[in-house]
Structure 1
C-alpha cells in the first residue's frame, strides 16, 4: 500500500510542477503580453479560480477581465471584450517544458498570433510550422460558386485554439464577410485543421 501511494505521488509530481509553473508564468507575465492587466489583478483572478469562485474583475475603465478555464497545463483568459489569451505548457524534446501563447483579437472575425516562451518568459524562436487551412473545392460545388466563396477569405484570417486536455492546436480559417446565402454554401468547406505537438513543433 505504501509503495502504491509512493508511486502515485511520483506520478503526480510532474503534473503538480507544471501547474505551479503555469500559475507562476501567469502572475509574472510581462507588460508586453498582459497589457494593462496588473500583476495584483492577475494574482487575484488566479486565487479566485483556484478557490472555484467566479474569476472576474472589473478594471478602472469598466472592462472585465476573467479566467475562463484553468487546468494543470492550460489557462484561458478574456483580457477584454476584444482580446483573449491562451497559455499552454508543452513538453519539450529535451525533457523540459515551454509555454505556447495564443493571443486572439476579435475584429469582425477573430485573428490569432502564436508565440513560444521559456519558463522565465524569454522569447523562443518560432519552430517551423505550416499552420494553414487550404480551401478545397467540394465535388458538388461549381467552380464559379467556389471562386466566389474563396474571395471571402482574402485577406486570410486564421484563429488558433489550444486544447485544454491534450497537446493539440486547432487552426480555423475565418471569412472576412459572409452573406446569409454564402453561409449555407460554406458548410461544405473544410475550414479547420488539427495539429499535434511532437515536442518540437505542431504538425
Structure 2
C-alpha cells in the first residue's frame, strides 16, 4: 500500500513538472533532429534577447541568421532562414499532459507546411485522426467549395488546375486554432485570380484530441 502511494506521488510530481515547463525550457531542449543548425546556446540567446526587448536573431551554423519574433506562455514563432518559418504551440490534452504542435512552412514558389506533434520532452507522437477525423492532406478536399452560381463542370475544371496539392497552415497566437488553406504554385496571376473564387480556407479548433471545425 505504501509503495503504491509513493509511486502515485512520484507519477503526479513528474506530471506536474512536465505541465509546468515554460516555453523557454521547451524551446531550449529542442533536439538537433528538429532544428539541426541552431545549438542550445543560440536558442537561449534568442529568448534572452526578446526578454531584453531586443531583436531575437542569431547566427546559425549554415552561415545565415535565424530570428525568433514571438514567444508567449504557449506559443513561439521564428524564421529559421529566408525560406523556412516554424511555429510551436502547446496544446492541452484530455486526461494527459499537454503536447506540442509544430508547424514548419517552406516558402518556395508557394507556401507548403507540415504539422507534427511531440511530447514536451520532444518525443514524436502520432495523434490519430488529428485533422477533422483524418489525415492532414485529406483536408485538401475541404479547401475548395463550388459557388452556387458556378456549374459543376466549371468547378471541376478549376479544381483540376490545382496541381500539385500543397497545404499552407498557420497556428493562432491567441487561441488553439489552426488556419489551413491551399497554396497555388506554378500558376499565372490570372489563373490564381480565377481559382480564388473556389478557395475555401478553414479554421480548425483544438478540442483536446484533435483539430476540428466547430
The ranges of structure 1 where at least 4 consecutive aligned residues each deviate by more than 4 angstroms after the TM superposition are 17-20, 142-145
**Aligned CA-pair RMSD:** 2.1
Which stretch has the larger CA shift, 86-95 or 17-26? 17-26
* TM-score normalised by structure 1 residue count: 0.83
Change (3 A) 1:19 1:43: farther
* TM-score normalised by structure 2 residue count: 0.79
Q: Which residue of 2 aligns with 1:169?
A: 178
User: Are 1:198 and 2:190 matched, yes or no?
Assistant: no
The count of corresponding residues between Structure 1 and Structure 2 is 187
User: Are 1:184 and 2:193 matched, yes or no?
Assistant: yes
Where do 5+ consecutive residues of structure 1 fail to align?
A: 1-16
Q: Which residue of 2 aligns with 1:43?
A: 44
User: Are 1:137 and 2:146 matched, yes or no?
Assistant: yes
Superposed, 1:28-177 pairs within 5 Å as: 28-94=29-95, 96-128=97-129, 129=131, 130=134, 131=136, 132-134=139-141, 135-143=144-152, 145-177=154-186
Superposed, 1:16-31 pairs within 5 Å as: 20-31=21-32
Distance 1:148 1:52 in 2: 51
Q: 3-state DSSP class of the match of 1:190?
A: coil
Q: 3-state DSSP class of the match of 1:34?
A: coil
Q: 3-state DSSP class of the match of 1:33?
A: coil
Q: 3-state DSSP class of the match of 2:194?
A: helix
